[in-house]
Structure 1
Amino acid sequence: MSIHPGMKMLAAVPVLFLAVGFSDSVILNKCGLKQELQTGLTLPPNMTDVLAQIVCHVQLTSNFNTSAIKTITEPQNSGEHHGSRKGRSARSRGKDKGRPSRKVTPPPHLESAEDKNEVWTLYGLFQLSDHVVCNSSTQSHSLNLCGLTCNQLLDDNISDDLACIQVLINKMTGVIPDPETAKHIRNMISLIYQPECVNAKASTYFADCP
């Protein structure tokens, strides 16, 4: 049975579509990303193990896939908040011993932004947030620290991803006057310095890299 030339063209369209879709992403590996970071980032002298911690984060979250996307609830910088809350509670127990506890619930219109769990979409190799580093079509109030559309973090060109990581590192080592902006940036950085990676050492993590 012969196939009409037009049918052959239609049959080729899905294959072409798939090829185009996958050509915009790439899967890296630990040693390759290490080299990219060494070339693309400028780190302070006291941050020699940061490369290992960043690559460990990438391995756990995006599995080195430049087109990875995930939605999460905004993380909280739990170490800082829990520490201050614990200290305050301890002082209150000592000072107000014997008094009945009383919980005051603020009216809905006085609830702070911190009481509301915002949804973040994380993009690309480093899983960067649309609330903090880039602007997406679904997010209208992003800080957009890196001056990017979020789709720019999904292709196989990671130069803009690396530049964005550099921005976060610079913010982390600098002073941020606005408390709300500082909170979001700390929460973004807390994702990269997650518990599984915070103690990663370059000497051991990259031991099998040339």
Structure 2
Amino acid sequence: MIKKIISFIYPLTRKIESVHNGILELTQLNGKVYLDTANTNYSYGSLQKILKFSLLQVDLSKAKNILVLGLGGGSVLKTIRKDFNYAENITAVDFDPVIIDIAEKEFGITNDEKTTIICSDAVDFIRNTNDSFNLIIIDLFIDNEIPKKILLPEFWKEIIKNTALDGYIIFNTLCKPFTDIKPIEDKLRKRGLDYKIFRYVENTNKVLIANCKPH
């Protein structure tokens, strides 16, 4: 409680080292805790606003199974549960055990009857799962870079295969010139899937949202 009060006067920052993500920063500011890397917000800051904007673009009313690739501090899970009153199944995947530990200890994100947290590489998980999801959220970053392997057609083939009919895909990416998502757009078009791209969400990110309902 004392730290929370102090955070209204000046931020309190604690650094945690991760093999996969480098130095992570937990900052308590104005009574709230944020998870950041050296160059970007991972949870409970601008990222949470970006993903909430994205979720407002899709219909969750009939969704029974959501997959989140990239847990971070778990802010998107809290947004889905609290802001959208979603009470069905969520599976969250992250390859960094340090991130998963932070999500649990600092933000209360744990396994329960309707929430499954898995420590795995996202590419391996989506390749090996037989489950179908009404919504897949792809929010995969290492610091402020997107792993190249999630831009490959092979990854997106598996994403589309595991998205339920009339389900949605949300892909949070960057408005950087070298973040080329044209091959992904080509893949979606070839499959006859509708998609939209929202640029400069929160002045930083580009979000692709696809509806897996063939024409």
Question: TM-score scaled to structure 2, two decimals?
Answer: 0.25
Q: Bigger relative contact order, structure 1 or 2, given CA contacts below 8 A and separation 6+?
A: 1
In terms of Rg, which structure is larger?
1
- TM-score normalised per structure 1: 0.25
More strand by share: 2
